[in-house]
Amino acid sequence: MPSQETLYDVADRVATITLNRPDKLNAWTAVMEQEVRTAMCEAERDDNARVIVLTGAGRGFCAGADMSLLQNVADRGVDKSLQDRVLRTSERQAGMRPDFQKKYSYFPAIGKPVIAAINGPSSDWASSLRCTVTSDGPQTLRA
């Protein structure tokens, strides 16, 4: 699974999805959003993975939205490549389960435990990331 801003690895039955923009404290982008969603789907389908860990490369988990990208949108508007990427994303999700259609609420709908391994600083968005842990039933973790 080629990616620009995330890493995906399965070892010892653990799928690890790593936000991989350490130079920007893993600040969230539209590309990262799609890559994390794709990796979560991949991990859920992967019979070699029993649990999913989401973490950040470097010294921070996630600084939140990449504000430099938001400034670019404010200055110049949305570019054609971003519009095309968003449209392709919508088309690609047509065959997904309905609960995977939501922007971020799909994390608790994943059929495997998802653990957020919060390393270092994280934004309010990242620290309130909802992850599923199975024991007697699903629980919500807050970092």
Q: Which residue, chain included where needed, has tokens 């957020």?
A: 116
Q: Which residues of the chain have pLDDT under 50?
A: 89-92, 127, 132-143
Distance CA 46, CA 43 (A): 5
Instruction: Encode pLDDT of 22-50 as tens digits.
Output: 999 999 888 998 999 899 999 999 999 99
Would you say the pTM of this structure is higher than 0.85? no
Distance CA 79, CA 75 (A): 11
Return the pLDDT at 142: 35
